């Protein structure tokens, strides 16, 4: 399963306006809520509940907020870039600029973990991260992901 099989250009936000964790989550879930029919409030509630277990700001300017939703039929993936960076309680204490949002059905642990691992592997590549940061549109971001998201 490739990231580009799941992510839709409509869920890619090339310039997040938010300046704090809650604001970023609100922004990231808005298009996902429209696609899934699940309220943004419910999506944010689940994500914040997960954040209480430990920050999904993994360091290196990257955050992967994720959660499982009861009644969801398919995996949903979103993406956002913060040009200035946001305090996301990252493990390294540095601002977070690249966000992948993962929402999965409640009983899809294996798919959830596989997609998290795939995203994490891609994000370890400095040139991939830099290409994302240099992108200015949803189309550019999608193409950067598509180029990097080869089978490995």
Distance in angstroms (rounded) separating the CA atoms of residues 128 and 44 = 28
Q: Where are the domains of the chain?
A: 3-148
- Concerning whether 66 is annotated as a catalytic residue, the answer is yes
**Per-residue pLDDT at 42:** 95
Give the active site residue among 66, 97, 112, 129. 66
pLDDT digits (tens, 9 = 90+) for 69-114: 988 888 999 999 999 999 999 999 999 999 999 999 988 888 888 8
pTM of the model as a whole: 0.94
Half-sphere exposure of 66 (CA within 13 A, CB side): 25
Q: What is the pLDDT of residues 29-41, one digit of tens each?
A: 999 999 999 999 9
Report pLDDT for 14.
97
Query: 109-142 pLDDT, tens per residue?
Result: 888 888 889 999 999 999 999 999 999 999 999 9
Question: What pLDDT score was predicted for residue 151?
Answer: 58
* Rounded-to-integer distance, Cα 33 and Cα 15, Å: 19
Q: Does domain 3-148 have CATH number 3.40.930.10?
A: yes
- Evaluate if residue 152 carries a pLDDT over 80: no
Residue pair 67/49 in contact by the 8 Å Cβ criterion: yes
């Amino acid at each position: 399963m490739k990231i580009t099989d799941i992510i839709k250009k409509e869920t890619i936000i090339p310039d997040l306006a938010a300046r704090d964790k809650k604001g970023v989550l609100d922004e990231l879930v808005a298009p996902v809520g429209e696609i899934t029919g699940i309220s943004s409030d419910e999506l944010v509630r689940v994500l914040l509940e997960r954040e209480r277990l430990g920050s999904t700001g993994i360091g290196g300017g990257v955050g992967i907020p994720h959660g499982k939703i009861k009644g969801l039929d398919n995996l949903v993936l979103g993406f956002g870039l913060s040009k200035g960076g946001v305090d996301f309680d990252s493990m390294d204490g540095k601002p977070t600029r690249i966000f992948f949002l993962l929402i999965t059905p409640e009983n899809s642990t294996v798919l959830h973990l596989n997609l998290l691992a795939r995203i994490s592997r891609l994000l370890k590549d400095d040139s991939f991260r830099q290409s994302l940061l240099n992108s200015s549109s949803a189309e550019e971001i999608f193409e950067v992901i598509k180029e990097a998201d080869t089978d490995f």
